[in-house]
Chain A
Amino acid sequence: MKILIADDELRLRKVVALYLRKCGHDVVEAENGKQAVEMAEKHDPDVIILDVMMPEMTGLEATKLLRQNERTKEKPIILLTANAGEKDYKLGGEAGADRYMTKPFSPKELMEAVSETVK
């Protein structure tokens, strides 16, 4: 499976990417929402994982753009966030995300979420 992961927290992104690669997946990395939207078009991933709070373009804004694009509108999107408020869950759903996971999470949980979302 090809997985696109976008998170501005470099170290967290690297660790999660390492785990996903260990699970046998092809991983492409982006450091903000804008880059994620461009890379989603370029790399045609099977699933997109977006951090919510990123510079230049948030994960919510990126999700909305991906949902408007013919090439990416059907892609499963998982939002990762360090915001656990009720309104944040609502915003994630409104933006068009398939799943919303709060930090901290274990890479194993994320992998399970990826498998369930892609089904």
Chain B
Amino acid sequence: MEDAYNTEELSVVREYFSHNIRTSTAMVVATVMVFKCGLGDDMENMSDVISESAYFLDVYDKGMEILFDFVLGVPVSTDKEEIEPSRLISHFTTKVPITIAEQGISLSVDTDSFKFKSNGHIVKNLLEIILCEEARKSRGSVKITGRNGVYVIEKENPGETPAIFAIFARLFGKLGIGFSYGEKRLELRFGQ
């Protein structure tokens, strides 16, 4: 029987989430071990480090289900809820302050209170993954601006663009959201 799904995309999804889940788990294991060895004085915020890793694990675990379902052709739910991107971004920055500080990121956020309706579970998770990617891989200045549903992330020193962004763009497209990405600039057009 011929596969009805794209095996190359399945592989991209598996590798992306496996890598990130294993890396976040490694962070928890290594931090606990170092703490157990009495090195807590050197990293007084270890419990916060573990909390941030747990947040990353939660985001990647949800994302894995969403992306596998999409690549396997599970219909995207048409259920809609109100989404306010600026609130999501603000929530994200409170979740990972240590990562942002350790990466030496100078984050500036300037967004309006634009709201739109879409599949909240998918949109929120993909946006969180994109923000996680930028928080963990970028260095220096990261500027997020949002006006009338067009959100732009500009990076001074970007990390590598993950191959999974191409699948994100297709999934966002199913929800009527434009997602374009380059090395130093990402753009999301919500509610188009």
A→B interface (CB under 8 Å): 8-12, 14-16, 18-19, 22, 53, 55, 82-84, 102-108
> Is B26 touching A11 in the complex (CB atoms < 8 A)?
no
| Alpha-carbon gap, A19 to B29, bound state (A) | 12
| B22/A11 in contact, CB under 8 A | no
The smallest C-beta distance from B8 to any residue of chain A, in angstroms, reads 15
Of the residues A12, A22, A107, A108, contact of B23 by C-beta under 8 Å? A12
B43 in complex: contacting residue of A10, A15, A105, CB < 8 Å: A15
B residues apposed to A, CB below 8 Å:
15, 18-20, 22-23, 25-31, 33-34, 37, 39, 42-43, 49, 98-99, 102-103, 136-137, 159-160
Known: A22-B39, A82-B19. 9 other contacts (CB 8 A): A9-B27, A11-B98, A11-B99, A19-B33, A53-B19, A55-B137, A83-B18, A102-B22, A107-B33
Question: Across the interface, do A11 and B25 meet the contact criterion of CB distance under 8 Å?
Answer: no
Which residue of the partner chain A has the closest CB to B29?
A104
The listed residue with most A CB atoms (<10 A of its CB), out of B15, B29, B42, is B29
CB<8 Å pairs between A and B, sample of 13: A8-B159, A9-B136, A11-B99, A12-B26, A12-B27, A19-B37, A22-B39, A55-B137, A83-B18, A84-B18, A84-B22, A102-B22, A103-B25
* B24, closest chain A residue (CB): A104
Residues of B within 8 A of A11 (CB): 27, 49, 98-99, 102
Q: Give the distance in Å from the alpha carbon of A18 to the alpha carbon of B49 in the complex.
A: 15
The interface residues of chain B lying within 8 Å CB-to-CB of A107 are 30, 33-34
Min CB–CB distance A78 → chain B (angstroms): 14
Set of chain B residues within 8 Å of A103, measured between Cβ atoms: 22-23, 25-26
- For B136, list chain A residues within 8 Å (CB): 9
A82 to B44, CA, bound (A): 27
| Among candidates B19, B25, B26, B98, residue contacting A83 with C-beta atoms closer than 8 Å | B19
- Contact status B34-A19, CB under 8 Å: yes
Q: Are A104 and B28 in contact (CB under 8 A)?
A: yes
Q: What is the distance, in angstroms, from A55's C-beta to the closest C-beta of chain B?
A: 5
Distance (whole angstroms) from the CB of B169 to the closest CB of chain A = 21
Q: Which residue, of A11, A14, A82, A105, has the highest number of chain B Cβ atoms within 10 A?
A: A11
A108 to B35 CA separation, bound complex (whole angstroms): 12
Residues of B within 8 A of A9 (CB): 23, 27, 136
Kindly provide the distance from the CB of A116 to the nearest chain B CB, expressed in whole angstroms: 18
Residue from B19, B30, B98 with most neighbouring chain A CB atoms (10 Å): B30
B29, A82: Cβ atoms under 8 Å?
no
**Across the interface, do B26 and A105 meet the contact criterion of CB distance under 8 Å?**
yes
- Name the residue in B22, B42, B102, B160 with the highest tally of chain A Cβ atoms < 10 Å from its Cβ: B22
Contact of A104 among B25, B98, B102, B103 (CB under 8 A): B25
Most chain A beta-carbon neighbours within 10 Å: one of B26, B28, B29, B43: B26
Considering the chains assembled together, what is the distance between the CA atoms of A14 and B43 in angstroms?
10
* In the bound complex, CA of A103 to CA of B30 (Å): 10
